[in-house]
Structure 1
Amino acid sequence: MEFSPFNPIVKLCLQGMELEAQNNREKALQIYLEGWNEANNDFEKYLTSYYIAKLQDDTQQKIFWLESTLSFALKSNSPAVNTALPTIYLTISECYKSLGEFEKAEELFAQSEAHRYSPSDNGPFYHGTKADLSIGDFLVAGGKSNYQNNLKMNHIYFTALVDGAGLAAALANGEGTERVYVVEPTGSYENDPNLTDKKFPGNPTRSYRSEAPLKIVGEIKEWAHRSPEEIQKFKEKLDNNKGEIIN
């Protein structure tokens, strides 16, 4: 499945994170367990078990939930999950190390390192904007940030999720028509550090950035459009986010 901030299970995880930020760990755990019980697929099971594991004080219980996280992550076999594998393996490794099981810890550490250098996402890739562009045009770095005034961006951003690009188009500055273009990177690219291993493990939004231009090779006409009310709530959350943009 594709990651979406509008997914009911993802919403529960976000609610749990807010409760954690308020130091209400007990209520947060209840919310995560609710998400676990309502999860309908491997990705949702992976995500909820990850947050349940984080709140376990008992190391054996933490290992149990982390190994559940790993199991569902491997079952889903998705680019939205694979970027989290190094962190999951490393966290389990540290748990075994704390128990004095050093051989097991070393095996898991080796797995963490091996997955850290797995191949990158191969796309296809998309860019959402309100700019009216044509096939063959190039998108380049240097534009203004949609999320922080007076910030000139050193990279051009894109995603492998059509709906994610559609959301970016809805949030983009300007009054033009929302457009989602199919793009090809002309140079190397990296995980978007503003999203990777932040609220969610790895890079579930499959968001990337490059200093090199993106070539427009097509346009998508259909994606999951969100209501004006949903977009407004999303904008308000972004406005309340005081974190620094990694540029």
Structure 2
Amino acid sequence: MNPDNPVVRLCARGMRAEADGRADDAHALFRQAWEAAGDDYEACVAAHYLARHQPTPEETLRWNQECLDRADRVGDDRVKGFYPSLHLNLGRAHRDLGRPDRAREHFARAAALVDALPPGPYGDWTRFAVGEGLRATGAAAPRPGDADLTGLLERLCARADLKALALILPAHLADLGTDEDRTRLSTALHMVHAARFLPEDEQATLSRVIGTLTP
């Protein structure tokens, strides 16, 4: 986004207010951005931030849908990278309203588009959030080793085994159910297994989970 754009500047000021805990100021700045928007692109940007400061799930959904509609009207490369988060936010809004089928649809769309995001913290966070949404709405088909892996992660978290968690958790949280994701998770588990720093029973659990991930 162009930092010199007046709507973007207002949204940036709103985000700073948000970070400072000044929610009312943030909302007012985002509302100013919406009122100052001169085209669909600027309206899309403003609507995205306004959606974060709505009093009801229904209003949150309305502004997220407005954001998507405006992005569709823009229809060029300026909004290409917006779509994973647009569908993620709509998925969350529908889930909060008790509409799992609609939520699942948007989470699946976000998953199909998330690889368009550049590598980095924002792309990782979006991918983790999409994965959580898919699992929460049953869009991600369970795998045979999921229960074993969940139990192992709970044990690692309980004793704060940061070394093992640092290797396994990113691949697990970013798993959207693709073959590439399965390979990434299997590789992470192989690395921990090969290091042999876990207790024997956990090494055995790793072996079982790795076996379920091997084609």
The answer to whether residue 63 in structure 2 is matched with residue 65 in structure 1 is: yes
1:32 to 8, 30, 33: 30
> What is the CA distance between 1:87 and its match in structure 2?
1.3
Match of 2:81 in 1: 83
1:41 to 39, 42, 51: 39
The one-letter amino acid of 1:33's match is: R
Q: Map 1:211-230 onto structure 2 (within 5 A).
A: none
Match of 1:17 in 2: 15
> What is the CA distance between 1:57 and its match in structure 2?
3.4
TM-score normalized by structure 2?
0.53
Tell me: higher relative CO, structure 1 or 2? Use CA pairs within 8 A at least 6 residues apart: 1
> Which structure shows the higher helix fraction?
2
Q: Map 1:1-247 onto structure 2 (within 5 A).
A: 3-117=1-115, 191=118, 193=120
User: Aligned residues: percent identity?
Assistant: 26
- Cα pair distance change 1:111/1:49, threshold 3 Å: same
> What is the CA distance between 1:60 and its match in structure 2?
0.5
Provide the secondary structure at the position in 1 that maps to 2:3.
coil
Provide the secondary structure at the position in 2 that maps to 1:94.
helix
Rg larger for = 2
Which whole-Å deviations, capped at 9, do the CAs of 1:223-245 have from their partners, x for residues lacking one?
Answer: xxxxxxxxxxxxxxxxxxxxxxx
- Cα pair distance change 1:197/1:14, threshold 3 Å: farther
RMSD: 2.1
Alpha-carbon distance between aligned partners in 2 of 1:197 and 1:14, rounded to the nearest angstrom: 22
> What is the CA distance between 1:54 and its match in structure 2?
0.9
- Cα pair distance change 1:70/1:197, threshold 3 Å: farther
> What is the CA distance between 1:80 and its match in structure 2?
2.5
> What is the CA distance between 1:117 and its match in structure 2?
4.4
The one-letter amino acid of 1:48's match is: A
The one-letter amino acid of 2:53's match is: L
Alpha-carbon distance between aligned partners in 2 of 1:95 and 1:104, rounded to the nearest angstrom: 9
Alpha-carbon distance between aligned partners in 2 of 1:111 and 1:75, rounded to the nearest angstrom: 18
The one-letter amino acid of 1:100's match is: G
> What is the CA distance between 1:114 and its match in structure 2?
2.4
Provide the secondary structure at the position in 2 that maps to 1:84.
helix
Provide the secondary structure at the position in 2 that maps to 1:80.
coil
Which whole-Å deviations, capped at 9, do the CAs of 1:155-181 have from their partners, x for residues lacking one?
Answer: xxxxxxxxxxxxxxxxxxxxxxxxxxx
Alpha-carbon distance between aligned partners in 2 of 1:19 and 1:35, rounded to the nearest angstrom: 14
Alpha-carbon distance between aligned partners in 2 of 1:32 and 1:196, rounded to the nearest angstrom: 24
Q: Which runs of 5+ in 1 are unaligned?
A: 119-189, 199-247
The one-letter amino acid of 2:74's match is: S
The one-letter amino acid of 2:62's match is: F
Which whole-Å deviations, capped at 9, do the CAs of 1:163-221 have from their partners, x for residues lacking one?
Answer: xxxxxxxxxxxxxxxxxxxxxxxxxxx725267699xxxxxxxxxxxxxxxxxxxxxxx
